[in-house]
Structure 1
């Protein structure tokens, strides 16, 4: 009986822990869905003029409209677009009044890397963003071929001589460039998967606990005969 009681307590405790972890992930899922909904609303808002003082946390995803001149010079950031294949994001300097910022103009195929693109006066609508794309495995830029592997805003700004401010265009800046606007689809939300995993483990734990209890009881009965 002592062995059966131990297994019962151990099984219930483990089951409670696994169920609580699953419930916590469900709560996190609802929180993340609300956060993504807020971000979607902000991304799609009416564009405003570029703030005088820009803060990466306060102004992340802020919709902005700027008028000015697209300058010469660009950086190519290697990306892959689903159902299209590899290509490059075109990052270029843009002068608006006394300020110069980075514009993510969008996507071109690998064969269009060296194509001449439209520059000069234009108006752009987009969203401010500071992508977090750098980790310990990100290769250093290939400066000879002008190929970068992440949008490192401070490094891009230093290379092109701009403010460390990136506007990701959602309006077209060139007929041959496909805009890649900011979307929440790129923000991970794996909480449902985690919840299913924890609840699945809880089910397995409950089944195994039941099996061991049945086996222990069968052994106890055989020992008493």
Structure 2
């Protein structure tokens, strides 16, 4: 009987832990979905003028329309686009009346890396963004071949003589450059998979607990006879 009670208590405790972890992931899923919905609403809001004082915390994803001049000179950030392949994001400086910021114009394939692109007066609508693309595995830029491996906003700004403010274009700035607007597709949301994993483990645990309880009882009855 002691062994049976031990297995029962141990099994119920483990089942409770696994179920609580699954429920926690369900709660996290609801929270993450709310965060993503908020970001999507912010991305798709009506564009405003570029704020005089820009803050990453307050202005991330802010839709903005700017008018001015696309300056010559560009930086190429290596990127891969689904169903298209490798290419480059085209980053250039853009001057308004009183300031110069960075613009991510979009994607060109590798064969178009050295093609000329439109510069001069234009109006651009996009979203302010501070991409988090750098980790310990990110290579240093290949300055000689103008190949960067991440959108490192401060270093891009220093290289192009602009403020560390990046506008990712929604609107087209050149017929041969494909805009890659900001969206939530790259923001991880794996909580559903985690919840399924924990609930699956709970089901297996419950089955194993039931089996061992049955074996323990069967052995006890066998010993009694």
TM over 0.5: yes
Name the counterpart of 2:187.
Answer: 187
Structure 2 residue matching 1:46: 3-state secondary structure: coil
TM-score scaled by length of structure 1: 0.98
**Cα-Cα RMSD:** 0.8
In 1, the alpha carbon distance for the partners of 2:124 and 2:5 equals: 70
- Cα distance in 1 for partners of 2:210, 2:136 equals 46
**Aligned ranges for residues 9-20 of structure 1 at < 5 Å?**
9-20=9-20
Q: Does 1:56 align with 2:50?
A: no
Cα distance in 2 for partners of 1:144, 1:222 equals 81
- Between Structure 1 and Structure 2, how many residues are aligned? 225
Distance 2:64 2:89 in 1: 20
Within 5 A, what are the aligned runs for 1:1-225?
1-225=1-225
Per-residue CA distance 1:134-158 (angstroms, 9 max, x = gap): 1111111111111111111111111
Once the two structures are TM-superposed, the CA of residue 186 in structure 1 deviates from its matched residue by 1.4
* Partner Cα distance (1:212, 1:148) in 2: 58
> Which range moved further: 211-220 or 183-192?
211-220
> CA deviation digits over 1:91-144, x for unaligned, max 9?
111011111101000000000001010000000000000000111111111111
- Which stretch of structure 1 is more off in the superposition, 31-40 or 101-110? 31-40
- What is the distance in 2 between the residues matched to 1:32 and 1:54? 26
Once the two structures are superposed, what CA deviation does each residue of 1:182-218 show, in whole Å capped at 9, x if it has no partner? 0111111111111101100100110111111111112
Deviation string 1:45-96 (CA, Å, 9 cap, x unpaired) is: 1110000101001000000000000001111111110111111000111011
| Unaligned segments of structure 1, at least 5 residues | none
Q: TM-score, length-normalised on structure 2?
A: 0.98
SS at match of 2:86: strand
Residue 224 of structure 1: CA displacement? 2.3
Which aligned runs of 4 or more in structure 1 are off by greater than 4 angstroms? none
Does the residue aligned with 1:171 lie in a helix, a strand or coil?
Answer: coil
